Homo-oligomer: A and B are copies of this chain.
Amino acid sequence: MNSPFLEAFAGTNETIPVWFMRQAGRYLPEYQAIKAAHSLETMFKTPDLAAEITCQPIDILGVDAAILFADILTLPGAMGFKIGFDDRKGPVIDTHFKMKDVHDHEEIGHITETIKQVKNKLTRNIPLIGFAGSPFTVLSFLIEGGSSVGYKKLFKYMKAETDAFHQLMEILTINTIRYLQQQIKAGADVVQLFDTCAGILSQEDFKDLVLPYVQRIFAALKVPSIYFVRNTAHLLSLLDLVNSDFLSVDHTVNLGTPATLNQIQKGVQGNLFNGNLYLDYPQLEKEVEKILLGGSQHQRYIFNLSHGVFPDVEVDKLKFVVDKVHEFKKIKV
């Protein structure tokens, strides 16, 4: 049985594949049932639970790929950074780390075990996407102590403590490669690198401070790969140089226009605005069609959102999107 998701990397797929960032998550009653009985930390660290959560959206939504249910801060947690969990607030990060306490990580057993269990559970030909946060995005969490609006501490670290910044980027890069290689060895078919924050940078800073590290990561991976960035519009030409197979773009990019087709030669994933999942069905259908018409102009294309599924989105809306994508007849370029 063929996988349209894997075939999309070669451009040989006949239907357009679809999956959603954060598809394994809070909007699903089946996820909430597990969450009612366990802490978030337990859910991440117990392979039985994490594997079940990873697989939930496959049958419920009918998506074409599974993505590992794991926390983006699992890797730095294994490298000596102190990451706690608060069930209400999410990760609690101690920003007062010492560089001497930072070390290469060992194999993270619960991650590799989860991947093995997922691969056993996926009876249909559904590939598993492994993932990591990019060094820059992980570093932004470590410096800011969580998500940020203004990124003051991160900018100061980049600009006033540049040597320390590069030292951290270096060790995060090495360990991101190791972590993703372990995921691949355990069974991940594809990997996505989440660089949610990189779009806050100017072209020049992205080129100097982020691009070289990202290139090393993708160069070291021998499976199909996807690079995700938000606020991608001003970086498109640079992002096309990244040696990932696909680029995942947000709703600030208009897929299929001559300008975008000119800037992105590689495979493209995206980019239904996640806020559009709050629309009623007729309006949602129109928006999905627009994305499909634009996206299918690209030689290699995977349907996804601009960013993660919000926790209060209706499950039926996502099923509806999956059906619309699968009904769409790919227009051959």
Using a CB–CB cutoff of 8 Å, the interface residues on chain A facing chain B are 147-152, 155-156, 158-160, 199, 202-203, 205, 231, 233-234, 251-254, 273-276, 278-280, 307, 310-312
Chain B residues whose C-beta falls within 8 Å of the C-beta of A155 in the assembled complex: 273-275, 278, 310
Interchain nearest-CB distance for A153 vs B (Å): 10
Residues of B near A311 (CB, < 8 A) are 152
Query: Which chain B residues border A205 with CB–CB below 8 Å?
Result: 273
24 sampled A-B residue pairs with Cβ under 8 A: A148-B149, A149-B149, A150-B307, A150-B310, A152-B311, A155-B274, A155-B310, A156-B275, A158-B275, A159-B276, A159-B278, A159-B279, A160-B278, A160-B279, A160-B280, A202-B251, A202-B252, A202-B254, A203-B252, A203-B254, A205-B273, A231-B252, A233-B252, A234-B252
A275 touching B233, Cβ below 8 Å: no
A307 CA to B280 CA, complexed, in Å: 36
Question: A278 to chain B: which residues have CB within 8 Å?
Answer: 155-156, 158-160
Instruction: Give the distance in Å from the alpha carbon of A233 to the alpha carbon of B235 in the complex.
Output: 9
Chain B residues contacting A150 (CB-CB under 8 Å) are 307, 310
Q: Which residues of B contact A254 (CB under 8 A)?
A: 202-203
Alpha-carbon distance A279/B159, docked complex (angstroms): 5
Q: Please indicate the chain B residues that have their CB under 8 angstroms from the CB of A203 in the complex.
A: 252, 254
Considering the chains assembled together, what is the distance between the CA atoms of A331 and B145 in angstroms? 44
Which residues of chain B are within 8 angstroms of A252 by Cβ–Cβ distance?
A: 199, 202-203, 231, 233-234
Complex Cα–Cα for A83 and B136 (A): 36
Bound CA span A318–B80, Å: 38
Q: A149-B149, A156-B278 are in contact. List 18 more A-B contacts (CB 8 A).
A: A148-B149, A150-B307, A150-B310, A152-B311, A152-B312, A155-B278, A156-B310, A156-B312, A158-B275, A159-B278, A159-B279, A160-B278, A202-B254, A205-B273, A231-B231, A231-B252, A233-B252, A234-B234
Q: How far is the CB of A224 from chain B (nearest CB, A)?
A: 27
Tell me the complex Cα distance, A233–B148, Å.
Answer: 21
- A279 — which chain B residues lie within 8 A by C-beta? 159-160
Q: In the docked arrangement, what's the CA distance between A160 and B307, Å? A: 18
- How distant is A139 from chain B, measured CB to nearest CB, in Å? 14
Query: Which residues of B sit under 8 angstroms from A307, Cβ to Cβ?
Result: 150
- Closest residue to A233 on the B side, CB-wise? B234
A159's nearest neighbour on chain B, judged by CB, is B278
For residue A110, give the distance in angstroms from its CB to the closest CB of chain B: 27
Q: Are B231 and A152 in contact (CB under 8 A)?
A: no
Docked-complex contact B149 and A273, CB < 8 angstroms: no
The answer to whether A149 touches B152 (Cβ under 8 A) is: no
What is the CB-to-nearest-CB distance from A88 to chain B, in angstroms, rounded to a whole number? 16
Q: How long is the Cα–Cα vector from A300 to B151 in the complex, in angstroms?
A: 30
**Are the C-beta atoms of A159 and B253 separated by less than 8 Å?**
no
* A269 vs B203: C-alpha distance when bound (angstroms): 19
A159 → B minimal CB distance (Å): 4
A289 to chain B, nearest CB (A): 13
